[in-house]
Structures are given as C-alpha cells and as structure tokens.
Structure 1
Amino acid sequence: MNYGFRLLFVLFFLSGCKQEAVIEFTSSYFSEEELELCNNEPCSQVSIEYQVAKGDESIAAAINEKIEWYIIASLFLGDDDAPSAKTIHAAATEFILAYRDHQPDLPSNLDLGGYDAEVNIYHAFQNESIVSLEMYAYLFTGGAHGYGATSFLLFDLKTGEGMEARSLFTDLAGFAAYAERKFKEEHEITEDASINSTGFWFEDDQFYLPDTMGFSEDKFVLLFNPYEIASYAAGAIRLEIPIEEITPYLDTEFL
C-alpha cells in the first residue's frame, strides 16, 4: 500500500468517524406490573415508554438524568413543591399509593378502581448538534376527564445540557412575527383580523410563542396545550413549520 493510498484511507476513515452520532437512543418501557406491591392486589395503571441515551458516558448520563426527572415529575401528586422520589420505580410506587390513600374517602359510586398515568417520550429529531425529544404525559385522577400535555426536551449533543427552544434563534422577534402569519393562515384568520377573532384565548388579544416548542422530523413545532389558548374540547393546538422556512431566524450553529 503506497503512502498516497494510505493517506486517503485514513482521511476517509476519520471522516466516517466524525459523522457518527456521539449519542444514540433506544426505547425502554416500564409499567406497574414491575412493582412488587402490585403482585397480589389491583393497582393503578402506569405505562411509561421512554428514551435512553447511549454513547459518550457523561453526555448520556446528563440526558438520561433529565429524562428521568421529567417522568418522576409527571407522576407526582404530592403537595410539596417538588417530588421526593429519585427513581421511576419510586415515583410509580408513590403514584399508586396515593390512590390507595385517597380511595377510602371516595364515595362508592366514584371509586375509579385506580388512577391512570401514561408517559410517552419519542425521539423526534436529531442532527450533529442537538436532539429533540417529544413528550406526552396524561394523568387521570378522577373527575370528568384526565389531562394530557405535550412538551419538548432539547439537548446540546456536545454537552448533554438541556436547551430552551428560544435560545436557538438569533432573531426571535422576527420568528414570532412569521409564526403569527403561519398561525393565521392555518386557522383561516385574515391578516388584518385580531388573533382572537375566531375564538382563541390569547391574552390581550396578542399572539405569542408557546412554552412548548421543538423539532419533529423536518418540522419545527409550536404547541399550545389544552386550556392555554382554547378550551379543553379543542385539544392541543399544534402548528408545524418546515425547518427550511425558519432558517433565516435560527442560529446556524445548530443546523
């Protein structure tokens, strides 16, 4: 093998290594059936499908810690400001015991047979710089219906640190104005009409970006959860904008 060929081989190998993802994700699942306290008596239902980061040890650990915290917080029913559980197993146990504590006080016609918790975390988008996880959590603890909400977790793949979607933009005001135009088009609101003219609940009748934003496949998603700008019956209000349309407003470091 001559020197020139060896050099080309090394460059090709290094180029291939550089393109490999530092972090990969696999799916994992947890349910109440894994808990010993559910072996001999009925339990509230707990269904959790989530992502586990693998690869660089420190980066993966940072990402997995935040994923686990989100799941624990989603199952929390206590009166304290923050859950005391440190693991998914412990959080699910506390959720089930909460129903058992409340059940004796329920009238027989309102006894639900158990609470219900569902958490799903999907791998929605990843490039060389960031990963976007879309998360849905639903709890039913009595009443006419439960409540479900979607959120996004964004991570810097160089560090494993969480990121705010707003921090990805170099021109956030310009993006907000563009998003308002897209929102009005989506909901057939004329350009000169107020944002609430068709029944939305935007505060002060002014469009604003939602707290829930993130990437999903080739789209950037803006999502208003139930009750944020419309009734529960309206469900989540989701606006998807192709990524190529928002690149003028984004920090190119993350593209």
Structure 2
Amino acid sequence: MNNRIALLLLAILFLASCDKEKNIEIASESFTEKELSICEGVECPEVTINYVEIIGDGEISEKINKKIKNFIFSSLLMGEDTIPTAKTIQEAATGFVEVYNADKAQFPDLAGAYFAEISVNEIYNSPEHLCFELRQYLYTGGAHGYGTTSFLNIDKKTGEELTFKEIFKNEKDFKSFAEKKFRNQQQIPSEAPITATGLWFENDKFFLPKSVGFTKDSLIFVYNQYDIASYADGQIELKIEMKEVAPFLNIQ
C-alpha cells in the first residue's frame, strides 16, 4: 500500500512539473496600414510588419512578446520622442501615419510618401536559447531611407535577453578572435591599423556590434550603415562557423 501511495505521489508531482514547464510555440503574424481606421478611404504611407508571437507559458511568453513589440514600437517612433508610449502595434502605426500627414500638410511638395518595413524572424531555436533577427527599413523623406539589422537572444527558461557576458565565456577573448576573422574578410593585414581600408573604428580599435545572431551553423554580426562605413558601403556582415565559435560560448 505504501508503495502505491508513493508511486501516486510521484506521478502527481511529475504531472505538475510537466504542466508548469509548458513548451512555448512561435506563430507568424502580420500587420499593414490597411488595418488602421485612420487610413480608411484615404492614401496612407505603407506600413508592412511581419513578426512572430510567442504562445505558451504565460509569464515567459509575455516577456518575449514585450521585447518584440518594443522593437516594433521603437522602429515606428517619429519626432522628438525617444521612448515609445504606444501599447499596441495599431497605436504605433497610427502615430507613424499621423506624423506623415502632419509633415505632408506642412510641406505639400514632400518628395514621396513615407513607408516602413519591419520584420522579426526566428533564426535559431534550441531547448535553452532563442534568437530573433530584427530588421527595419524606413523612408521618411530625403534621398534615401535607412535600415538596420540587429539580433535578440533569449534565455527560454526565463524569457530574459542574454547579455554578452552570458553568451561568451570571455568577451575580450572572443573579440580578439573575431577581429582576426574580420581582418581576413576585409583583407586588412594583421600589422596594419584596423582603419587601414577606410573603415570608421574610433581610435583604431576594433569593436563588436551591439548584438550578435545565431543560426544552426553560424554566428553572425552585422555593422549597419554608418556604424563603421558610409551609407554607400551598405551593411557589413561577418559569419563565423559555429564549430569555430563554440569554444568561446557559455550557451549551447
């Protein structure tokens, strides 16, 4: 009898544990300006947003979704504000349209309609680690638009963003390794200054972008336009095979 009770208790604890550790799922979502009431029957700047929504464990999903939406809100932020106040994608997109309408009213000869293209894609997913690629491209007047690519690495157990200190065993060691790879790609001799080919590294010191991305096979980092080179040079990307990067990583 005692054995049966013990087994029953173990089964209950196991089921409770399974219920607590729910798997999260990733769903694709999209949004355009056509969904805005402010754009009904009138010409509006194009707003195209393709993103993912996390479904499953309530607390963890909420944390990740908040980070994704904050990126979208920030991408659509216009004017002098630096911190988004929007609570929904609709609200953020409406603000973008309202700024365009105000600018068009003030400057009737505005060269072209504004537009925004934003995407959030899952590019790596393991039992412990999620990586999203975040892209945004906006045109708000002038000769050309401007876009950026960044990455968001998430600890799936907590829903929190992984910092460089959590990703790398020793950031300084990895930076030295990455510089060698970067110099090789850009054909900059090891004995030459990192700025020898005209790149913009302050004080001739190599630095990593603010975020790095992961795929199944590679680590990726991207310098956006104006980070280390002119707009005309475009984004500068470096991929390093995962088997070479693995010794520097804290994460699997």
- On whether the aligned pair clears a TM of 0.5, the verdict is yes
Distance 2:182 2:156 in 1: 31
Equivalences for residues 64-83 of structure 1 within 5 A: 64-83=65-84
- State the percentage of identical aligned residues: 41
Distance 1:21 1:128 in 2: 12
* Helix, strand or coil at the partner of 1:98: helix
In structure 2, what is the equivalent of residue 224 of structure 1?
223
* Helix, strand or coil at the partner of 2:239: strand
In structure 2, what is the equivalent of residue 236 of structure 1?
235
Asked if residue 59 in structure 1 is aligned to residue 60 in structure 2, the reply is: yes
Q: Is the 8 A contact 1:25 1:53 kept in 2?
A: yes
Q: Is the 8 A contact 2:152 2:211 kept in 1?
A: no
Distance 1:232 1:217 in 2: 30
Distance 2:192 2:48 in 1: 44
Which residue type is aligned with residue 33 of structure 1?
A: K
Distance 1:230 1:237 in 2: 8
In structure 1, what is the equivalent of residue 207 of structure 2?
208
Distance 1:150 1:244 in 2: 24
* Unaligned stretches of 5+ residues in structure 1: 1-9
Q: CA deviation at 1:234?
A: 0.7
Which residue type is aligned with residue 240 of structure 1?
A: K
* Helix, strand or coil at the partner of 1:212: coil
Asked if residue 130 in structure 1 is aligned to residue 129 in structure 2, the reply is: yes
Q: CA deviation at 1:212?
A: 2.7
* Helix, strand or coil at the partner of 2:158: coil
Q: CA deviation at 1:194?
A: 1.4
Asked if residue 43 in structure 1 is aligned to residue 57 in structure 2, the reply is: no
Q: CA deviation at 1:247?
A: 1.5
Q: Is the 8 A contact 1:120 1:137 kept in 2?
A: yes
- TM-score when scaled to structure 1? 0.87
In structure 2, what is the equivalent of residue 97 of structure 1?
98
Q: Alignment RMSD, CA only?
A: 1.9
Measured against aligned partners, the alpha-carbon deviations of 1:89-129 in whole angstroms (never above 9, x if no partner) come to 00000100111111122152x342x2100101111111111
Q: CA deviation at 1:21?
A: 8.5
Q: Is the 8 A contact 1:21 1:128 kept in 2?
A: no
* Helix, strand or coil at the partner of 1:163: coil
Which residue type is aligned with residue 43 of structure 1?
A: C
State how many pairs are aligned.
236
Distance 2:22 2:106 in 1: 52
Measured against aligned partners, the alpha-carbon deviations of 1:47-91 in whole angstroms (never above 9, x if no partner) come to 000011122222111111111111011100031231221110000
Which residue type is aligned with residue 215 of structure 2?
A: S
In structure 2, what is the equivalent of residue 140 of structure 1?
139
- TM-score when scaled to structure 2? 0.88
Q: Is the 8 A contact 1:103 1:111 kept in 2?
A: no
* Unaligned stretches of 5+ residues in structure 2: 1-10
In structure 2, what is the equivalent of residue 186 of structure 1?
185
Distance 1:181 1:53 in 2: 37
Q: CA deviation at 1:217?
A: 3.2
Q: CA deviation at 1:237?
A: 0.7
Distance 1:166 1:115 in 2: 39
Q: Is the 8 A contact 2:164 2:171 kept in 1?
A: no
* Helix, strand or coil at the partner of 1:145: coil
